[in-house]
Structure 1
Amino acid sequence: MSRIVAIDYGVKRSGVAVTDELQLIASGLTTVPTTDLLTFLKQYLAEESVSIVVIGEPKQMNNEASESEVHIQEFIKKLKEAIPMIEIARIDERFTSKMAFQTMIDSGLKKKQRQNKALVDEISATIILQSYLESK
């Protein structure tokens, strides 16, 4: 089997998570400056077998798309042009940042470590990926 990659897309930086080859376990991979995200994905997909890229779908409480969806759609268009054979899936990402922060608290990270926004993004991507796996 091949891996699944998930992205918590942000304007400044994006968290990236990946499954094992059996697609059972979601793990944080890294956080990448969003300007470098497409380059990072092309390189990662050249080295690893990936079947699906899951991208978080930010929604407001009334179920409408959030303002960052415009940026995500632009990125998806570029991703499809750069890697046309990759399947792209979307999953609701509401509350993932709050869940990531709570995960950091629950795991005993100190306040200084919890202020690491890059770590929050990576954990958020992991939560997005885990949600996707559970929905299958």
Structure 2
Amino acid sequence: MARILAIDYGKIRTGLAVTDEMQIIASGLTTVNTKELITFLKDYLSKEQVELFLVGEPKQMDNTPSESEALIIPFLVKLENTFPNVPIKRVDERFTSKMATQTLIDSGLKKKQRQNKALLDEVSATIILQSYLYNQ
């Protein structure tokens, strides 16, 4: 089996998480400067097999797309054109930032450490991936 890679796309930073090859465990991979995301993914996929991209889908409480969806659409086109053999699925990412913050609190990190937005983005991507695995 190949890995599943989750993407919590952001205007400045993008959090990434990945499964193990058996697709059982979701782990944070890293946070990448969004401008360097495609380059990072090309390098990663040259070393690892990825069978699916999960991309967070930001929605409002009434289920309509959030404003940041407009930033994600061009990225999805570029992702699909760059990796035509890797399917893309969208996953509702409502509350992932709040859940990620609570996870960091529960893990005992000090307030200064919890303010690390890169870590928050990586944990958010992990939560997106874990929710997908749980619902499969």
Report the residue type matching 1:15 in the other structure. Answer: G
Q: Tell me if 1:2 matches 2:2.
A: yes
SS of alignment partner, residue 66 of structure 1:
coil
Report the residue type matching 1:43 in the other structure. Answer: D
Q: Tell me if 1:42 matches 2:42.
A: yes
In the TM superposition, residue 71 of structure 1 has moved relative to its aligned partner by: 1.1
Q: Per-residue CA shift, 1:49-72, capped at 9, x if unaligned?
A: 110000000000110000111111
Q: Per-residue CA shift, 1:33-61, capped at 9, x if unaligned?
A: 00011111111111101100000000001
**Aligned equivalent of 1:19:** 19
Q: Tell me if 1:94 matches 2:94.
A: yes
Report the residue type matching 1:57 in the other structure. Answer: E
SS of alignment partner, residue 32 of structure 1:
strand
Find the aligned partners of 1:100 and 1:116 in 2 and give their Cα distance.
Answer: 12
In the TM superposition, residue 119 of structure 1 has moved relative to its aligned partner by: 0.3
Find the aligned partners of 2:123 and 2:66 in 1 and give their Cα distance.
Answer: 20
TM-score by length of 2: 0.99
Q: Tell me if 1:125 matches 2:109.
A: no
- Identical pairs, percent: 66
SS of alignment partner, residue 64 of structure 1:
coil
Find the aligned partners of 2:108 and 2:32 in 1 and give their Cα distance.
Answer: 25
Aligned residue pairs total 136
TM-score by length of 1: 0.99
Report the residue type matching 1:126 in the other structure. Answer: T
SS of alignment partner, residue 56 of structure 1:
strand
Find the aligned partners of 2:42 and 2:70 in 1 and give their Cα distance.
Answer: 22
Report the residue type matching 1:69 in the other structure. Answer: E
Q: Per-residue CA shift, 1:69-106, capped at 9, x if unaligned?
A: 11111001001111111110111000000000000000
Report the residue type matching 2:15 in the other structure. Answer: G
Measured on the aligned residues, the alpha-carbon RMSD in Å equals: 0.5
Find the aligned partners of 2:20 and 2:85 in 1 and give their Cα distance.
Answer: 21
Find the aligned partners of 1:86 and 1:42 in 2 and give their Cα distance.
Answer: 12
Report the residue type matching 1:95 in the other structure. Answer: F
